[in-house]
């Protein structure tokens, strides 16, 4: 079927946009995307790998969307065909990565914060996901740290230190949550960013923009 407006691209985040955070997409959202795909070009972009994207959006995600970008765009598919695949390690080099990771782990080790668990750095194709308390924490612990961090600015201070220490690295730093790793796309002068808080918000916005 020929799209009505093929040059219009709607690019979606995953968590809290197409799905609830870390949850699976609902049939309602899948059906709405299929309808939208008849009108315009649709794409999805996320920081997780393609395996995780498939877990949340379905095994056929590279066909459900015209464009599918995982690992912050370093792995890209168009109409089910791989069009790009690279990695942070190839771009930066192993020596620089080791220096950054070693420094960050030492910084976290010296942090005086209420709890620490495990998996403080998760290496992905397109990013390093750094967690001061560790990604093995429970959801309750994550929520508690969010409140603690709001007061003590642990992550913001760490980002400032990393920016200064590795000023010669071509890295972009984003703090998770609002203004996360999709923020650069959201504010780009070639896009019109729309803020939503849930899949339900997304459906309402789509009904307004593309009835």
CA distances from 92 to 69, 95, 98 (A): 20, 8, 10
112 has binding-site annotation: no
190 has binding-site annotation: no
* β 67-70/40-45 pair status: parallel
163 has binding-site annotation: no
117 has binding-site annotation: no
Cα–Cα distance for residue pair 154/113, rounded to 1 Å: 9
Give, in degrees to the nearest 5, the angle at Cα 167 between 162 and 173: 50
Residue 56, phi then psi, degrees to nearest 5: -85, -35
15 is catalytic: yes
170 is catalytic: no
Here the tokens at position 7 are: 């040059």
22 has binding-site annotation: yes
* Selected catalytic residue, list 13, 16, 66, 149: 13
142 has binding-site annotation: yes
Region for 79 from its dihedrals, namely left if φ exceeds 0, alpha if ψ lies in -120 to 50, beta otherwise:
left
* Selected catalytic residue, list 15, 16, 66, 182: 15
Catalytic amino acids? 13, 15
Residues of the binding site for Mg(2+): 13, 15
Residues of the binding site for alpha-D-mannose 1-phosphate: 22, 124, 135, 142
């Amino acid at each position: 079927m020929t799209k009505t407006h093929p040059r219009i691209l709607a690019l979606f985040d995953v968590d809290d946009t197409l799905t609830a955070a870390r949850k699976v997409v609902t049939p309602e959202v899948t059906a709405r995307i299929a309808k939208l795909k008849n009108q315009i070009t649709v794409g999805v972009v996320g920081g997780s790998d393609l395996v995780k994207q498939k877990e949340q959006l379905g095994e056929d995600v590279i066909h459900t969307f015209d464009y599918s970008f995982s690992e912050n765009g370093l792995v890209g598919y168009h109409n089910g065909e791989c069009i790009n695949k690279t990695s942070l390690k190839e771009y930066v080099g192993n020596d620089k990565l080791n220096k950054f990771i070693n420094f960050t782990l030492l910084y976290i080790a010296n942090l005086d914060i209420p709890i620490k668990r495990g998996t403080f750095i998760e290496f992905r194709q397109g990013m390093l996901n750094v967690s001061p308390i560790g990604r093995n924490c429970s959801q309750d612990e994550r929520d508690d740290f969010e409140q603690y961090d709001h007061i003590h600015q642990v992550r913001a201070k760490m980002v400032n230190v990393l920016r200064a220490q590795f000023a010669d690295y071509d890295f972009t730093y984003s703090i998770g949550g609002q203004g996360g790793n999709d923020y650069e796309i959201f504010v780009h002068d070639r896009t019109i960013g729309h803020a939503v808080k849930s899949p339900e918000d997304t459906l309402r916005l789509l009904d307004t923009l593309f009835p």
